[in-house]
Amino acid sequence: MSRDSGTRELVAQALRDTRYAPPRQAERAVEDWASRLSAQGAERVAVDRELLCQAEELLGSMWSRGFWQPADVVRLTRRQLKPAHVSLAVDLIAAEARRYSPAAFDRRWAEQLRELDAERPGWAEDADWLGTASARLRLDRFSSVIHLLELLRLWGTAPVLTQVGPVPGSGAVLTAPVPGEPKQLARIRALLAKAEATTYAEEAEAFTAKAQELMARHSIDEALLAARNGDRTLPAAIRVGIDNPYESAKALLLDAVASANRAQAVWDKQNGFCTVVGFEADLDAVELLFTSLLVQGVTAMNSGRVQQGGRSKAFRQSFLVAYASRIRERLTAATAQAEAETSAGNLLPVLAARQEAVEEQTLALFPSIKKGRAIRVSDLDGWEQGRAAADKAHLHSTQGRGELRE
């Protein structure tokens, strides 16, 4: 597609002016430029195409130089802006993804695009992209351009992150997307689905205990196989979102799950996520378990019995901290039992070597890492009920990633 140099410079100037405007002047700058770009008459199609092109280029820069990933960009947008901005963000991520062949995406990158429903744009022609988005969001053109400029201003000021995976098109070694999922993971998910569906606590415990056993044994088997084959693959890293409220307690829960699965979690409070460093099989387990245990913890905290005395912020904070603390104890014990039941004589040295590799990789990614301060607990009832809820929690994952109400 040919691009008019005058239109390109016009849009580039709009993005520069709105990006670098001081906070108190940003709203006025966005409105002024939205007015100019909305009144282009016959040049509207060229302006819309150029806005799309430069938005795609900005995303490409966030991937390659800022080391953001699609889920990170959507999380940033959701934390800072409104739902309409999030919808536009998904549109633009889908448009930018067209630049690459499917083989250019790492497994986790492809999974993020699929979960965001950003595998393909929601319009037929690029000339109509902004009009299609405006109609879906029920916005007039002026309002749509304001939303777009606000979104691109946010992206343009995003910080540089630590790289946690290969960038599309970089030529780095990828974990190739595969149809379906590994057989062992499919078995685990099937057990968990049965545990979620039954109304009998004993059945649920049996299903989930078996699922946890499979997870632990799968991790051990992967470690032994890698040692036997001389596999020197370094640990990988993923980002897991940590949302308000009570994000400190949620990060503590993720740290508990990561530690029990021989991984390390590093919390970035400002950007709303933890980076988890570990081997691939362990990272999968961390995601599954954390998602499930967080859902269970919040559900227990919001239950009618707890709500009678647990509406205060101090209660809820104490509840979730205690919940995370008790979950750490339970998961650590379960991992130790799985290790004790393994007959391989070289297991402990193999696991120790992998643990050391995870620690070294964490320090390589975060050389200035610091330990966080302990989280204050000020409500005894919340603490006691949180530990009680953790004792009842099933050590398994959920099938969905629905939004939690707290």
**Taking the chain (406 residues) in consecutive chunks of 10 residues, what is each chunk's mean pLDDT?**
86 97 94 90 88 97 96 96 97 96 90 94 92 96 97 96 89 58 70 62 60 75 84 90 91 92 92 94 84 77 61 83 85 82 81 92 89 57 64 55 43
Say if CB 296 and CB 290 are below 8 A apart. no
In a domain, 386, yes or no: yes
Q: What is the pLDDT of residue 290?
A: 85
The domain in which residue 263 lies consists of 183-392
In a domain, 32, yes or no: yes
Whether 236 and 152 share a structural domain = no
Side-chain-side CA neighbours of residue 135 (13 Å)? 6
Whether 189 and 303 share a structural domain = yes
Whether 251 and 141 share a structural domain = no
Q: Which of 156, 175, 207 is the last residue of a domain?
A: 156
Whether 197 and 133 share a structural domain = no
Can you read off the two tokens belonging to residue 11? Answer: 């849009």
Q: What is the pLDDT of residue 384?
A: 63
In a domain, 398, yes or no: no
Say if CB 180 and CB 188 are below 8 A apart. no
Q: What is the pLDDT of residue 401?
A: 41
In a domain, 316, yes or no: yes
Side-chain-side CA neighbours of residue 379 (13 Å)? 19
Say if CB 105 and CB 93 are below 8 A apart. no
Q: What is the pLDDT of residue 37?
A: 94
How many structural domains is the chain composed of? 2
Q: What is the pLDDT of residue 335?
A: 81
Q: What is the pLDDT of residue 224?
A: 86
Which residue is it, tokens 């081997």? 279
Whether 117 and 205 share a structural domain = no
